[in-house]
Amino acid sequence: MNEEILLTQSGYDALVQEHEYLVSVRRVEVAEHLKEAKSYGDLSENAEYDAAKDEQVEVEERILKLEAMIRNAKIVTEEELTGEHVNLGLFVKIKDMKTKEEFKYQIVGITDADPLNDRISNESPLGKELVGKKVGDKVEVEIEDGVLTYKILEISKE
pLDDT for residue 82: 72
**Structural domains for the chain:** 5-75 (1.10.287.180), 82-156 (3.10.50.30)
Q: Which 3 state secondary structure label does DSSP give 147?
A: strand
pLDDT for residue 84: 83
Q: Decide if pLDDT at 2 tops 70.
A: no
Residues in Cβ contact with 31 at an 8 Å cutoff, skipping those fewer than 6 apart: 56
Report how far apart, in Å, the C-alpha atoms of 33 and of each of 30, 92, 94, 151, 152 are: 5, 47, 50, 54, 52
The count of other CB atoms within 10 Å of the CB of residue 18 is 17
Residues in Cβ contact with 142 at an 8 Å cutoff, skipping those fewer than 6 apart: 125
Q: Decide if pLDDT at 157 tops 70.
A: yes
Strand partners, 148: 141
Strand partners, 139: 150
Please write the tens of the pLDDT for every residue from 58-114.
999 999 999 999 999 888 777 767 778 898 889 999 999 999 999 999 998 887 888
Would you give the DSSP letter of residue 84? S
Q: Decide if pLDDT at 11 tops 70.
A: yes
